[in-house]
C-alpha cells in the first residue's frame, strides 16, 4: 500500500484526518473521501468522471453543498475540476498536495503537544521548598522570628501542599501564615497560671503563649515545689 492509500483510505482516513476536517470542514472532507473512493477504482492518475447525484447519494449531502465543497477543495488545490454538464464533472485529485497538508498538520500537532508537555513539566518542577534557614530568615524579614519552625514542620508533614494542591510560592504561604496568626485572639501581656493550665493539653498553643511572654521580656524558672513559673526581668 502506498503512502496515499495509507493516509487517505478507509478508517485510516478518518482517524488521521481530524485536523483536515477542522481545516476544510466536514462536508468537504466527506466529498473528498468519496472522490478518493471513486478514484481508487481508476488505475490511471488521470481525470475520472464523477456524477454529482452519485456523490449526493453516498454522502447524503445536497447537490448545492457538494458544489460548494468541490469549490473549496479546488481553492485548496486538492483537486482540479472540468465541468462537463450540470450533473457530471471530471476530477483529478492532487494527491501530493493532500498528503503534504496532512503531514504538515500532524507534525505541527506533534510539536504543539511536545511544547505543552514541556511547559507542564517546567511548571511541576518550579516549586522548591525552602530550607529551615531560608524560612527563618524570611520570617525575620516580615517581622516574626518565632513561627518559622512551626510553619516548616506543619507543611513538611503535609508534603508542602495547600489543601490538596501543591504549594506554588512558600513566601506567599508564609505571609498568609502571619496574617492568620494576627487574626487569632492574642494572649495577655502577662503571665497567668490559669491560662497556662487551660492550654496544658494544647502543646502548640501553650508554646505560642510562652513565646509571647518571652517576646515581652518574661523569663521562666523551675522549682520542684512550684514547678514552672514566670517572672518579668
Are 138 and 180 found together in one domain? Answer: yes
Are 88 and 134 found together in one domain? Answer: no
pLDDT at 11: 42
Instruction: Name the stretches of the chain with pLDDT < 50.
Output: 1, 10-11, 14-15
- Which 3 state secondary structure label does DSSP give 108? helix
Are 10 and 67 found together in one domain? Answer: yes
Are 98 and 131 found together in one domain? Answer: no
- 223 strand-pairing partners: 227
Quote the cell numbers at residue 164: 490538596
CATH code at position 93? 1.10.10.10
pLDDT at 118: 61
Question: Which residues in 42-181 belong to E strands, given as ranges?
Answer: 48-51, 79-83, 88-93, 161-162, 165-166
- Please tell me the total count of domains within the chain: 3
Are 10 and 58 found together in one domain? Answer: yes
122 part of a folded domain:
no
77 part of a folded domain:
yes
120 part of a folded domain:
no
Are 137 and 74 found together in one domain? Answer: no
Phi, psi of 160, rounded to the nearest 5 degrees: 55, 50
115 part of a folded domain:
no
116 part of a folded domain:
no
- Cα 56-31-71 angle, rounded to 5 deg: 100
Are 50 and 31 found together in one domain? Answer: yes
pLDDT at 178: 85
Domain boundary among 184, 204, 225: 184
Are 133 and 219 found together in one domain? Answer: no
pLDDT at 15: 46
109 part of a folded domain:
no
Cβ burial, residue 148 (10 Å; 0-12/13-18/19+): buried
9 part of a folded domain:
yes
Are 173 and 226 found together in one domain? Answer: no
Residue 163's domain comprises: 127-184
pLDDT at 40: 76
pLDDT at 1: 44
Are 175 and 214 found together in one domain? Answer: no
> DSSP alpha helices (H): ranges in the chain?
3-8, 10-16, 18-24, 26-39, 52-59, 63-75, 95-126, 132-141, 148-157, 170-183, 193-198, 203-215
pLDDT at 142: 85
pLDDT at 16: 53
Are 27 and 75 found together in one domain? Answer: yes
Are 176 and 209 found together in one domain? Answer: no
What is the end-to-end Cα distance of the chain in Å, rounded?
A: 94
pLDDT at 112: 62
112 part of a folded domain:
no
Nearest to 148 by CA among 184, 185, 183, 173: 173
Nearest to 134 by CA among 161, 158, 170: 170
**Considering the entire predicted model, what is its pTM?**
0.43
Amino acid at each position: 500500500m502506498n503512502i496515499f492509500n495509507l493516509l487517505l483510505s478507509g478508517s485510516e482516513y478518518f482517524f488521521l484526518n481530524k485536523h483536515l476536517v477542522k481545516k476544510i470542514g466536514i462536508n468537504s472532507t466527506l466529498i473528498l473521501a468519496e472522490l478518493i473512493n471513486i478514484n481508487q477504482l481508476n488505475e490511471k492518475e488521470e481525470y475520472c468522471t464523477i456524477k454529482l447525484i452519485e456523490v449526493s447519494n453516498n454522502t447524503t449531502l445536497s447537490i448545492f453543498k457538494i458544489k460548494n465543497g468541490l469549490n473549496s477543495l479546488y481553492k485548496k488545490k486538492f483537486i482540479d475540476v472540468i465541468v462537463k454538464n450540470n450533473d457530471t464533472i471530471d476530477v483529478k485529485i492532487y494527491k501530493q498536495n493532500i498528503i503534504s497538508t496532512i503531514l504538515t498538520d500532524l507534525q505541527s500537532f506533534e510539536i504543539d503537544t511536545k511544547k505543552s508537555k514541556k511547559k507542564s513539566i517546567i511548571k511541576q518542577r518550579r516549586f522548591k521548598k525552602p530550607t529551615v534557614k531560608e524560612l527563618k530568615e524570611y520570617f525575620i524579614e516580615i517581622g516574626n522570628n518565632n513561627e518559622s519552625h512551626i510553619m516548616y514542620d506543619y507543611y513538611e508533614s503535609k508534603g508542602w501542599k495547600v489543601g490538596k494542591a501543591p504549594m506554588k510560592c512558600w513566601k506567599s504561604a508564609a505571609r498568609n501564615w502571619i496574617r492568620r496568626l494576627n487574626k487569632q485572639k492574642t494572649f495577655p501581656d502577662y503571665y497567668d497560671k490559669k491560662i497556662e493550665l487551660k492550654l496544658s493539653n494544647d502543646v502548640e498553643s501553650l508554646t505560642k503563649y510562652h513565646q509571647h511572654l518571652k517576646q515581652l521580656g518574661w523569663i521562666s524558672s523551675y522549682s520542684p515545689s512550684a514547678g514552672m513559673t514566670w517572672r518579668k526581668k
